[in-house]
Amino acid sequence: MTYSITQKQMQNKILKLITEGLTHREIRDELGISLGTISRVRNGGDIREKKEKDMRILVVGDLHAPFIRKGYREFCEEQYKKYKCNTVVFTGDIVDNHSTSFHQHDPDGFSAGDELDLAIKQISKWVRSFPKAMVCIGNHDRLPARQAFDSGVSTRWVRDYAEVLGCPGWEFAEGFDIDGVRYEHGEGQQPHIKMLNNRQSYVCGHVHSKLSITFSVSEHDRLWAMQMGWGGDQSAYSMAYAKNFKKGIVSCGVVLDSGQTPIVIPMNF
């Protein structure tokens, strides 16, 4: 978006109109900018120039490799094409790390090395499908680093996720902000609580058994929270700790219209 005034001046205009009591839609209509931009400025962020392409985001649930649900990758590929997506965000827990987890280990399960080898092999197929992606770091992903830390090992000895898993085009981070929407794994609080506390739209995984979109509308904003299901295999031995939990919902999601339109898509059995 090209402005006839500086971005700082536009930011000040937005803040002035907010303090005068105008709604976000009224400000949008007056200044000709997106609701996402207004929300970012209201939450203390900066105006960012319009991207060269409209971000059409595929949201992929927790994979828990090497225990990924059969057919889940193909399902995600179909939705990517159907909704003409151009960006991919994984909600985290790319790997399960059962062999090094704090849950009771299956003595007949894979060794740590074998489990990692199988996880890398599965993830390599996802890399071929989606060479570029953003990955929220999940609690299962952190397990090796946590155990290294607890053992007194310096972080300088710990390799980064992309190097270990063989996905150089994937960016790993605690979270991402895209078009005013926050993408995180989701520990601590469910996304609708984060949305209400921080007045920002959220996408989270972590809770396998829930798939939902919750809206919150005020005079100043229209926010939403997406709770993504997952893409793992409920029958895997690594999920024994959750055998009495509610069944996980295999699903993915998309976020369209500059962060204004969230959609959740359950996978058929």
Are 149 and 206 within one domain?
yes
Q: State residue 43's pLDDT score.
A: 66
Are 17 and 73 within one domain?
no
Are 246 and 115 within one domain?
yes
Percent of all residues in the chain with a pLDDT value above 90, rounded to a whole number? 54
- The mean pLDDT of the chain is 87
Question: Binning pLDDT at 50, 70 and 90, where does residue 244 land?
Answer: low
> What residues contact residue 218 under an 8 Å CB cut-off, 6+ apart?
none
Are 13 and 99 within one domain?
no
Query: For residue range 194-214, what is the model confidence (pLDDT) as tens digits?
Result: 999 999 999 999 999 999 999
Are 33 and 68 within one domain?
no
Q: State residue 3's pLDDT score.
A: 35
Residue 118 has pLDDT above 60, yes or no: yes
Written in H, E and C, the secondary structure of 214-245 is EEEECCCCEEEEEECCECECCCCHHHHHHCCC
Q: Are 173 and 89 in contact (CB under 8 A)?
A: no
Residue 153 has pLDDT above 90, yes or no: no
Query: For residue range 91-103, what is the model confidence (pLDDT) as tens digits?
Result: 999 999 887 766 6
Are 100 and 11 within one domain?
no
Residue 4 has pLDDT above 70, yes or no: no
Question: Binning pLDDT at 50, 70 and 90, where does residue 45 land?
Answer: low
Mean pLDDT in residue range 175-203: 93
CA 174 to chain centre: 9
Are 101 and 219 within one domain?
yes
> How, if at all, do strands 201-204 and 222-227 pair?
parallel
Between the alpha carbon of residue 95 and those of residues 23, 25, 140, 162, the distances in Å are: 43, 42, 7, 12
Q: State residue 155's pLDDT score.
A: 82
Question: Binning pLDDT at 50, 70 and 90, where does residue 269 land?
Answer: low
Are 37 and 78 within one domain?
no
Are 70 and 143 within one domain?
yes
Instruction: Please indicate whether residue 50 or residue 66 has the higher confidence score (pLDDT).
Output: 66
Q: Is 166 left (phi over 0), alpha (psi -120 to 50) or beta?
A: left
Written in H, E and C, the secondary structure of the chain is CCCCCCHHHHHHHHHHHHHCCCCHHHHHHHHCCCHHHHHHHHCCCCCCCCCCCCCCEEEECECCECCECCCHHHHHHHHHHHCCCCEEEECCCCECCHHHCCCCCCCCCCCHHHHHHHHHHHHHHHHHHCCCEEEECCCCCCHHHHHHHHCCCCHHHCCCHHHHHCCCCEEEECEEEECCEEEECCCCCCHHHHHHHHCCEEEECCCCCCCEEEEEECCCCEEEEEECCECECCCCHHHHHHCCCCCCCEEEEEEECCCCEEEEEECCC
Residue 14, domain extent: 7-42
Residue 183: give its domain's CATH number: 3.60.21.10
Are 25 and 118 within one domain?
no
